[in-house]
Chains A and B, each alone.
Chain A
């Protein structure tokens, strides 16, 4: 897992860390039971205040993404808890917003977009649940 933070943006550093951990889990780079770097190590690696890293980890623990185990440090606990429901929706909307605005700029109609979308989803193996 590679975590990189950028300063000067309007996303606080601790959120950049939580996001990247969640993404790594979502993308399968981190499996359940894998250890993440210690606060100290990560702080050192990415040159960020350890309190900021600790705050990010604390949030991930609170959300059930990570759990602290005696002697083994921070472990990835369960994939399902990566995001809350609301957060998942917010992120989906965010991604869709980008795609939709691009599609509109390119003069696609709604039907074309939906059709295209469906094709892509089927291609990665998702199908309608009901």
Chain B
């Protein structure tokens, strides 16, 4: 059976000093999927991506990328994986033509047309020098260099950081274009929830080095619900609600975000509240924020309640 996963990791763990930055991560990316990797700064996103690319040795566990252990990626394998790192690194002393030439000479499947298309989309004059580029244009050249290698798998580390709306739009269009055939996969780490909603069909959320969510967007949205309960509710007792992700006060009421709600959790919420709790629809942003807020909550009262 052909493996349908372009990336999967088994208990991937990485320590820096005494601290586990990534803990027992089991991430799977199916072929054709666009996965938005979400998490706070320092949650372990970049560390995970670096391990996937074989740029960092896992302390424990394995990562398999395009069927290969990430530690043993050959140059040919690297030619099939496109990567754009944080900050869109390019050599400042090169011109765009030099950058293009350097890419063409170091990737076997380089496609000039793809490079041209992307550069055009970002509205960049090809004769320009890298050091004279704006942040958005730099992102364009960087993406163009990556996409022109015609990769099967694209790994992007926070590509929209610091981009203006026009460049972000161009970035999204580029990505949609890239995965139009639905055979090529993307793993995209970002903080832009709007972009994830548009461009991705799956989300993975890392909190404190742990992967808490890895599912399709609509699965996530259908499985997480928010209850609004009145102000007499005692947040310290909320830990007894099964599947509670996060609770936060909102204008005299408490919003409880719950994963996989069932009768039991509904009953538990009802017990906490003086009046009947109201179920409201959750947007992607609500859900992601609830998960990401746990990072901080876990270190305060929530940890004690566990």
A and B touch in the complex (CB under 8 A): yes
Interface residue B177 (Cβ < 8 Å from any Cβ of A): yes
Given contacts A7-B194, A7-B197, A8-B194, contact A52 B217 (CB under 8 A): yes
Closest Cβ of chain B: how far from A51's Cβ, in Å?
Answer: 4
Interface residue A9 (Cβ < 8 Å from any Cβ of B): yes
Instruction: Please measure, in the bound complex, the distance between the C-alpha atom of A9 and the C-alpha atom of B285, giving whole angstroms.
Output: 8
Do the beta carbons of B286 and A8 come within 8 Å of each other?
no
Do the beta carbons of A55 and B169 come within 8 Å of each other?
no
| Residues of A with C-beta under 8 A to B206 | none
Do the beta carbons of B285 and A47 come within 8 Å of each other?
no
| Residues of B with C-beta under 8 A to A57 | none
| Residues of B with C-beta under 8 A to A48 | 176, 198-199
Do the beta carbons of B180 and A40 come within 8 Å of each other?
yes
Instruction: Please measure, in the bound complex, the distance between the C-alpha atom of A97 and the C-alpha atom of B193, giving whole angstroms.
Output: 31
Interface residue A44 (Cβ < 8 Å from any Cβ of B): yes
Do the beta carbons of A47 and B176 come within 8 Å of each other?
yes
| Residues of B with C-beta under 8 A to A44 | 173, 176-177, 180
Instruction: Please measure, in the bound complex, the distance between the C-alpha atom of A49 and the C-alpha atom of B283, giving whole angstroms.
Output: 18
Interface residues on B, range: 20 to 34
Given contacts A12-B217, A14-B218, contact A47 B200 (CB under 8 A): no
A7-B194, A10-B280, A51-B34 given; name 10 further pairs at CB < 8 Å.
Answer: A8-B285, A10-B286, A12-B217, A12-B218, A12-B221, A13-B198, A44-B173, A47-B173, A49-B198, A50-B180
16 A-B contact pairs sorted by A residue (CB < 8 Å):
A5-B198, A7-B197, A7-B284, A8-B283, A10-B281, A10-B282, A43-B180, A48-B176, A48-B198, A49-B179, A49-B198, A50-B176, A51-B179, A51-B201, A52-B201, A54-B182
Closest Cβ of chain B: how far from A68's Cβ, in Å?
Answer: 16
User: From residue 168 to 207 of chain B, which have CB atoms closer than 8 A to chain A?
Assistant: 169, 172-173, 176-177, 179-180, 182, 193-194, 197-201
Interface residue B12 (Cβ < 8 Å from any Cβ of A): no
Closest Cβ of chain B: how far from A79's Cβ, in Å?
Answer: 26
Q: Give the 3 A-B CB pairs with smallest separation, nearest first.
A: A10-B281, A51-B201, A10-B283
Instruction: Please measure, in the bound complex, the distance between the C-alpha atom of A45 and the C-alpha atom of B135, giving whole angstroms.
Output: 26
B residues lining the A interface (CB < 8 Å): 32-34, 169, 172-173, 176-177, 179-180, 182, 193-194, 197-201, 217-218, 221, 280-286
Residues 42-78 of chain A, each 1 if its beta carbon lies under 8 Å from chain B, else 0: 0110011111101100000000000000000000000
A residues lining the B interface (CB < 8 Å): 5, 7-14, 40, 43-44, 47-52, 54-55
| Residues of B with C-beta under 8 A to A14 | 218
**Nearest-CB residue, chain B, relative to A15:** B218
| Residues of B with C-beta under 8 A to A51 | 32-34, 179, 182, 201
Given contacts A8-B194, A8-B283, contact A49 B218 (CB under 8 A): no
**Nearest-CB residue, chain A, relative to B280:** A10
Closest Cβ of chain B: how far from A90's Cβ, in Å?
Answer: 14
Do the beta carbons of A47 and B286 come within 8 Å of each other?
no
**Nearest-CB residue, chain A, relative to B218:** A12
Instruction: Please measure, in the bound complex, the distance between the C-alpha atom of A54 and the C-alpha atom of B32, giving whole angstroms.
Output: 12
**Nearest-CB residue, chain B, relative to A9:** B283
Instruction: Please measure, in the bound complex, the distance between the C-alpha atom of A9 and the C-alpha atom of B176, giving whole angstroms.
Output: 21
Instruction: Please measure, in the bound complex, the distance between the C-alpha atom of A49 and the C-alpha atom of B194, giving whole angstroms.
Output: 12
| Residues of A with C-beta under 8 A to B282 | 10
**Nearest-CB residue, chain A, relative to B286:** A10
| Residues of B with C-beta under 8 A to A52 | 201, 217
Instruction: Please measure, in the bound complex, the distance between the C-alpha atom of A39 and the C-alpha atom of B193, giving whole angstroms.
Output: 23
Instruction: Please measure, in the bound complex, the distance between the C-alpha atom of A5 and the C-alpha atom of B284, giving whole angstroms.
Output: 14
Instruction: Please measure, in the bound complex, the distance between the C-alpha atom of A37 and the C-alpha atom of B194, giving whole angstroms.
Output: 24
Given contacts A12-B221, A40-B180, A44-B180, contact A49 B201 (CB under 8 A): yes
| Residues of A with C-beta under 8 A to B217 | 12-13, 52
Instruction: Please measure, in the bound complex, the distance between the C-alpha atom of A85 and the C-alpha atom of B248, giving whole angstroms.
Output: 38
Closest Cβ of chain A: how far from B236's Cβ, in Å?
Answer: 28
Do the beta carbons of B34 and A49 come within 8 Å of each other?
yes
Closest Cβ of chain B: how far from A30's Cβ, in Å?
Answer: 24
Instruction: Please measure, in the bound complex, the distance between the C-alpha atom of A63 and the C-alpha atom of B113, giving whole angstroms.
Output: 41
Instruction: Please measure, in the bound complex, the distance between the C-alpha atom of A8 and the C-alpha atom of B34, giving whole angstroms.
Output: 18
Instruction: Please measure, in the bound complex, the distance between the C-alpha atom of A14 and the C-alpha atom of B285, giving whole angstroms.
Output: 16
